[in-house]
C-alpha cells in the first residue's frame, strides 16, 4: 500500500496533457467481446481499473496486448462465460460483463458486486431490465451472491429506468446490440461515457439511435465487425487538475481536454472565481484569489455537476471566503473526506439524513496524515495537501491509481511538490 507525500505551497503552473477516459474505457473493454474479433483501442489509460478489466478479458479466454496506450484485443478465442468472483470483488465495473457476455454467449455467471465505500450501489435496474429481455436469472452460493443468467434468445423490449443509471444503461445496450427486435430505453443516462459506448458499437456495426439523449433505441443486428477506436480524454481527470490549479491559485493549460463534456465543472469553477478560456481542446485556467463560496452545489446526473467531482470541490470550498453547501444527490455515502479534511483544519458539518455538507471556509488548511477512502476523495486530499501549509501524507493512495495514470507525475509537471512514498512514512 503506498502513500503520497505532498508539500504544500506551490502554485500550479504550466501545461499538462490529459489521459484517456477511464469511464469510457471500461464499458468499451467489456464490449470488445461482442465482435468475436479484433478491437484496437487507442488513448487507453494505463490505470488499475483498466488492468483489472483487461485481466477479466484474459480470464474469459481473450487475448490482450499493449503498445504504449494502444490496447489490442482479440476476442475470437473467448472460451468461458464465468467472471471470476475475485475479479468482481476488486472492481464494480466488472458487472458490465453481464450484458456483454449475455449478448455474445447467451449465458453468464458473475458474482454480485455488492456495496462499496461510496454507497450501496445496487444492480436491480440491470437485472430487472435483462429479465424483461427474456433472460432467466438464478441465484446461487452463500447468501445468493452468485448470479447465473441465461437465455435462448435476447428479445428487445421497452425498459423504463427509475433513475438514469450509467451502468444499467450500458449493460442494457451491451445485451441489446446482438438481440432480436428493438430495445427502447426510457430515462437512459446521458453521460458522455454512454454516448461513447454507443459510438464505439455503431462503428462496429450496431444499430443505435438517440445516443446522448434520455431515449435510446437499439435494433439488434446479427454480428459486429472489427473496430479501431480512439477513446476521448478523461473529463474527471481534467476536472480534478482544474480543481488543483484553482485551489493553489495557479495558472495552467490542460491540453487535449474534453472541453464540451466539462460545461458544468467549468461553470462551477468560474463561480468560485476562476478565469477559464477554452481554445479547441485546450483549457486555460487561472485563479488569482482565495476561492469564493458557493451557496448551494448539487451533484446531478449529466449534464449536471458530476458526483465524481464533488470531493475535489469540497476541498476548494473548505478554503473559500465564506460558507458553502453541497448536497450529494447520487450516492449516499460520499462525504468520507469530511473527517479527513477536518484533520487538516477544515470546518465542515454533515447532515447525513439529507446528504448535505455545510462548509465554512478557513483561510488555509494545515498538513496532516489523512486516508484516501476512494479514488476521487483520494485525489481531493492530494489537492488539499497542495494548498495546505506543511506536509500532508495521503495514506492508502493506491485507490487513486484506479483512475489516475500517475497523479504525482502530472501534478509535478505543473510544479507541485509531491511523491509516492512507503506507507510507513511518519510525519515529523
Ligand atoms: C457510474 C460511474 C461513476 C459515477 C456514476 C454516477 C463508471 C465506471 N462509473 O457508476 O464513476 O460516479 O456513474 O455518475 O462509469 N442505482 C440503483 N439501481 C441500479 C443502478 C443504479 O438504484 O441498478 C442508483 C445508484 O445507487 C445511484 C444512481 O442509481 O444512486 C446512479 O448510479 P449509476 O449511474 O448506476 O452509477 P454507476 O454506473 O455504478
Specify the ligand 1 atom closest to the Cα of 49: 8
Distance 121 CA to ligand 1 centre (A): 7
Q: Strands of 70-74's sheet, edge to edge? A: 63-67, 70-74, 38-42, 227-230
Residue 176 in any domain: the answer is yes
Sign of dihedral through CA atoms 136, 142, 143, 146?
negative
Domain total of the chain: 2
Same domain, 27 and 49: yes
Pair 238, 202 in one domain: no
Domain edge (last residue) among 230, 264, 282: 230
- Spacing, Cα 297 to ligand 1 middle (Å): 19
In the reported structure, the alpha carbon of residue 261 is separated from the centroid of ligand 1 by a whole-number distance in angstroms of: 18
Q: What is the pLDDT of residue 142?
A: 78
Of the residues 230, 265, 289, which one is the last residue of a structural domain?
Answer: 230
Task: Check whether residue 396 and residue 342 sit in a common domain.
Answer: yes
The number of CA neighbours under 13 Å toward the Cβ of 90 is 16
Same domain for 246 and 199: no
Local confidence pLDDT in tens for the 428 residues of the chain: 689 999 999 999 999 999 999 999 999 999 999 999 999 999 999 999 999 999 999 999 999 999 999 999 999 999 999 999 888 888 889 999 999 999 999 999 999 876 567 666 789 999 999 999 999 999 888 777 899 999 999 999 999 999 999 999 999 999 999 999 999 999 999 999 999 999 999 999 999 999 999 999 999 999 999 999 999 999 999 999 999 999 999 999 999 999 999 999 999 999 999 999 999 999 999 999 999 999 999 999 999 999 999 999 999 999 999 999 999 999 988 899 999 999 999 999 999 999 999 999 999 999 999 999 999 999 999 999 999 999 999 999 999 999 999 999 999 999 999 999 986 655 44
Q: Are residues 148 and 54 in the same domain?
A: yes
Q: Which domain holds residue 306?
A: 2-19+233-422
Residues 247 and 392 placed together within one structural domain of the fold? yes
Q: Which residues belong to the active site? A: 116
| Residue to probe by mutation, ligand 1, list 95, 100, 166, 306, most atoms within 8 Å of CB | 166
CB under 6 Å to ligand 1: residues? 23, 26, 93, 119, 121-126, 163, 165-168, 189, 193, 306-308, 330-331
Question: Is there a domain that residue 428 lies in?
Answer: no
Has residue 116 been placed in a domain?
Answer: yes
Q: Which atom of ligand 1 is nearest to the CA of 23?
A: 15
Atom 22 of ligand 1, nearest CA residue = 122
User: Which residue's C-alpha comes closest to atom 1 of ligand 1?
Assistant: 166
Classify strands 158-160 and 182-186 as parallel, antiparallel or unpaired.
Answer: parallel
Structural domain includes residue 107: yes
Q: Per DSSP, which regions of 191-319 are E strands?
A: 207-209, 215-219, 227-230, 251-255, 275-279, 282-286, 297-298
Instruction: Give the whole-angstrom CA distance, residue 1 versus residue 336.
Output: 19
Q: Whose CA is nearest to atom 39 of ligand 1?
A: 167
pLDDT at 428: 41
> Angle 22-31/96-105 helices, nearest 10 degrees?
20
What's the gap in Å between 283 CA and the centre of ligand 1?
28
Nearest-CA neighbor of 91 among 71, 108, 114, 72? 114
DSSP 301: S
At 382, which CATH number?
3.65.10.10
Q: How far is the CA of 203 from the centre of ligand 1 (A)?
A: 26
Is the domain of 352 the same as that of 269? yes
Of all protein residues, the one whose alpha carbon is nearest to atom 15 of ligand 1 is 23
Residue by residue, DSSP assigns 33-94 as GGGTSEEEEES----HHHHHHHHHHHHTT-EEEEETTEEEEE-TT----B--HHHHHH-GGG
Q: Please report the DSSP string for 91-112 in residue order.
A: -GGGGHHHHHHHHHHSEEEEE-
In a domain, 32, yes or no: yes
Residue 146, in any domain of the structure: yes
CA distance linking residue 3 with residue 420, whole number of Å: 6
Q: Which atom of ligand 1 is nearest to the CA of 124?
A: 23
Q: For residue 427, is it within any domain?
A: no
Distance, C-alpha 5 to centroid of its chain = 24
What DSSP assignment string belongs to 379-405? HHHHHHHHHSBSEEEEESGGGGGGT-S
Integer Rg of the chain from CA:
22
- HEC string of 206-226? CEEECCCCCEEEEECCCCCCC
d(CA 39, CA 123): 28
C-alpha grid cell for residue 382?
492530494
pLDDT of residue 141: 81
Task: Please give the model's pTM, rounded to 2 decimal places.
Answer: 0.97
Q: What cell numbers appear for 30 in the block?
A: 467489456
DSSP string over 135-190: -EEEEESGGG-EEEEE-SS-B--EEE-SS--HHHHHHHHHHHTTSBSEEEEET---
User: Which atom, in ligand 1's list, is nearest to the CA of 332?
Assistant: 30
8 Å CB contact between 183 and 217 = yes
Residues 217 and 96 in one domain: yes
Task: Supply the pLDDT for residue 114.
Answer: 60
- Based on the domain organization, do 221 and 237 belong to the same domain? no
Q: Which atom of ligand 1 is nearest to the CA of 95?
A: 39
In a domain, 188, yes or no: yes
Nearest CA to ligand 1 atom 9: 23
Considering the domain architecture, whether residues 248 and 173 belong to the same structural domain is answered as no
Query: Cell triple for residue 405?
Result: 495514470
DSSP state of 115: -
Q: Give the residue, by CA position, lying nearest to ligand 1 atom 37.
A: 167
* Whether residue 110 is found in the same domain as residue 225: yes
Among protein residues, the one with the nearest Cα to ligand 1's atom 31 is: 165
Spatial separation of the C-alpha atoms in residues 316 and 194, rounded to whole Å: 29
- Of 179, 204, 230, the residue at which a domain comes to its end is 230
Q: How far is the CA of 38 from the centre of ligand 1 (A)?
A: 29
d(CA 106, CA 262): 37
Same domain? For 8 and 45 the reply is no
Amino acid at each position: 500500500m503506498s502513500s503520497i507525500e505532498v508539500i504544500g505551497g506551490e502554485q500550479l503552473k504550466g501545461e499538462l496533457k490529459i489521459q484517456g477516459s477511464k469511464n469510457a474505457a471500461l464499458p468499451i473493454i467489456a464490449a470488445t467481446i461482442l465482435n468475436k474479433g479484433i478491437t484496437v483501442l487507442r488513448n487507453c489509460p494505463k490505470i488499475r481499473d483498466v488492468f483489472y478489466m483487461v485481466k477479466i478479458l484474459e480470464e474469459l479466454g481473450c487475448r490482450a496486448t499493449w503498445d504504449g496506450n494502444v490496447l489490442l484485443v482479440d476476442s475470437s478465442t473467448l472460451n468461458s462465460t464465468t467472471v471470476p468472483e475475485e475479479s468482481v470483488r476488486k472492481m464494480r465495473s466488472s458487472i458490465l460483463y453481464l450484458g456483454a457476455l449475455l449478448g455474445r454467449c447467451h449465458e453468464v455467471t458473475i458474482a454480485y458486486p455488492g456495496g462499496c465505500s461510496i454507497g450501496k450501489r445496487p444492480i436491480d435496474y440491470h437485472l430487472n431490465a435483462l429479465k424483461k429481455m427474456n433472460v432467466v436469472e438464478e441465484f446461487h452460493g452463500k447468501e445468493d451472491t452468485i448470479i447465473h443468467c441465461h437465455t435462448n434468445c435476447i428479445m428487445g423490449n421497452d425498459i423504463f429506468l427509475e433513475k438514469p443509471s450509467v451502468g444499467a444503461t450500458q449493460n442494457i445496450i451491451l445485451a441489446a446490440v446482438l438481440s432480436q427486435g428493438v430495445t427502447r430505453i426510457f430515462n437512459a443516462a446521458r453521460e458522455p461515457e454512454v454516448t461513447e459506448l454507443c459510438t464505439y458499437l455503431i462503428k462496429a456495426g450496431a444499430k443505435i439511435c438517440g445516443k446522448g439523449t434520455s431515449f435510446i433505441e437499439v435494433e439488434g443486428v446479427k454480428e459486429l465487425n472489427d473496430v479501431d477506436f480512439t477513446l476521448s480524454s478523461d473529463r474527471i481527470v481534467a476536472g480534478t487538475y482544474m480543481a488543483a490549479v484553482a485551489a493553489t491559485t495557479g495558472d495552467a493549460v490542460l491540453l487535449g481536454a474534453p472541453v464540451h463534456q466539462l460545461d458544468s465543472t467549468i461553470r462551477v469553477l468560474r463561480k468560485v472565481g476562476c478565469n477559464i478560456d477554452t481554445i479547441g481542446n485546450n483549457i486555460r485556467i487561472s485563479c488569482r484569489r482565495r476561492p469564493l463560496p458557493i451557496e448551494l452545489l448539487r451533484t446531478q446526473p449529466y449534464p449536471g455537476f458530476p458526483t465524481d467531482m464533488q470531493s475535489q470541490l469540497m476541498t476548494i470550498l473548505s478554503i473559500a471566503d465564506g460558507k458553502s453547501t453541497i448536497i450529494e444527490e447520487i450516492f449516499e455515502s460520499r462525504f468520507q473526506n469530511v473527517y479527513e479534511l477536518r484533520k487538516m483544519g477544515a470546518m465542515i458539518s454533515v447532515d447525513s439524513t439529507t446528504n448535505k455538507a455545510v462548509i465554512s471556509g478557513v483561510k488555509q488548511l494545515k498538513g496532516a496524515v489523512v486516508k484516501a477512502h476512494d479514488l476521487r476523495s483520494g485525489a481531493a486530499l492530494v489537492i488539499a495537501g497542495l494548498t495546505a501549509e506543511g506536509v500532508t501524507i495521503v495514506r492508502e493512495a493506491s485507490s487513486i491509481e484506479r483512475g489516475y495514470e500517475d497523479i504525482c507525475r502530472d501534478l509535478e509537471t505543473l510544479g507541485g511538490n509531491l511523491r509516492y512514498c512507503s506507507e510507513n512514512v511518519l510525519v515529523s
